[in-house]
Amino acid sequence: MEQQLYTIPKIELHCHLDGSVSIALLKQLALEQGITLNEQNLQVDQNCENLEEYLRCFDEIQKVLQTADSLQRSVIDVASQVVKDNVKYIEIRFAPLFHMEKGLSINETIQAVIAGAKLAMTQYNIKINILVCAMRQHSNAINIDLFDHVLQADNEHIAGIDFAGPEAAFPPEAIQEAAQYGVEKGLNLTLHAGECGCIYNVVESIKLGAKRIGHGVAINNDQQVLEEVKAQQVLLEICPRSNLQTQAISDVSELNLPYLLSNGVPFLINTDNRTVTQTTLIAEYDLLLKAQQLTMEDIEAINKNAVNHTFLSTEEREELRLIMK
């Protein structure tokens, strides 16, 4: 089954850089930088109780990702994992403000990650773009300044922006000003929403102009919200294992994938954080196949359809469509 899963060309749209750096590279970076990492804090354990606890892993990982060199190597490291899932196009996201403890500027973090993406594309048969994450817990002024840096970077490899971080404490109203600023300036917006079970957040995120929703778990039982998602053709970036760990769901059947499929609600399966969650894209699809939530044909179809929801230009989408055949 895994071999058959491998052969399907895939797209991944929700993958965090820091949460996906391999343990091997994290250890190597710690060694080189003279930093002691608490290995137990790099991945969630089975007792993880919620999103807040899940997010704590990132504090440990980020200790070794404070230099341009480490950021650049991280992107290549993630690309080396992703190609083993036969991913042809990935949008990797990262939050610049979490990589400035040793003096990097916002622009330097962005340039380091882009340099990593360019190098990775010369080494592997994959196309990579970057999404810049604002954090919900930061003020609108801080996030607007971040988006200004994104706009000034004017780089073809930045595909869009996202808001990550604690959702329950910082609902859509809290980030409205910065999100609208980004959208008005023409940046593609995807938003983490519905991960805490709040349907209202998904609706509000769409109103803010989000073209995709990270997780969106909460909406699956609400007919009206599903209609809205479908009408707007907003794609749900679903991350099953991560949702199980943060206890957004207790079983993958709660994702209601067969229902989403039969109702034409666009979605794609993603890893979220390959290392923190201890997963691969093949493992995610394998889980859903075994739970009879998707068939091989479904997996092929949702990946092909995801081309339409990438933050790529029309021409680039056409090129990708040829590769996805």
Residues that bind Zn ion (CB under 5 A): 272
Q: At its nearest, how many Å lie between Zn ion and the CB of residue 214? A: 5
Q: Is the Cβ of residue 242 or residue 293 nearer to Zn ion in the bound state?
A: 242
Q: At its nearest, how many Å lie between Zn ion and the CB of residue 321? A: 26
Secondary structure (3-state) at 136? coil
Residue 244 to residue 246: CA distance in whole angstroms: 6
Residue 15 to residue 207: CA distance in whole angstroms: 24
In which residue are the tokens 């003096």 written? 103
Residue 31 to residue 28: CA distance in whole angstroms: 5
Secondary structure (3-state) at 275? coil
Q: Is the Cβ of residue 67 or residue 240 nearer to Zn ion in the bound state?
A: 240
Nearest to 266 by CA among 238, 295, 224: 238
Known catalytic residue at 156: no
Quote the tokens at residue 91: 């949008």
Please report, as a single letter, which amino acid is at residue 30. Answer: A
Q: At its nearest, how many Å lie between Zn ion and the CB of residue 45? A: 19
Q: Is the Cβ of residue 274 or residue 324 nearer to Zn ion in the bound state?
A: 274
Q: At its nearest, how many Å lie between Zn ion and the CB of residue 133? A: 9
Q: At its nearest, how many Å lie between Zn ion and the CB of residue 7? A: 27
Quote the tokens at residue 127: 């196309």
For residues 230 and 195, the answer to whether their CB atoms sit within 8 Å is: no
Quote the tokens at residue 65: 């990702």
Q: Which residues pair with 131 in a beta bridge?
A: 93, 160
**Active-site hit among 12, 60, 195, 204:** 195
Q: Is the Cβ of residue 254 or residue 300 nearer to Zn ion in the bound state?
A: 254
Q: Is the Cβ of residue 12 or residue 272 nearer to Zn ion in the bound state?
A: 272
The residues assigned a catalytic role are 195
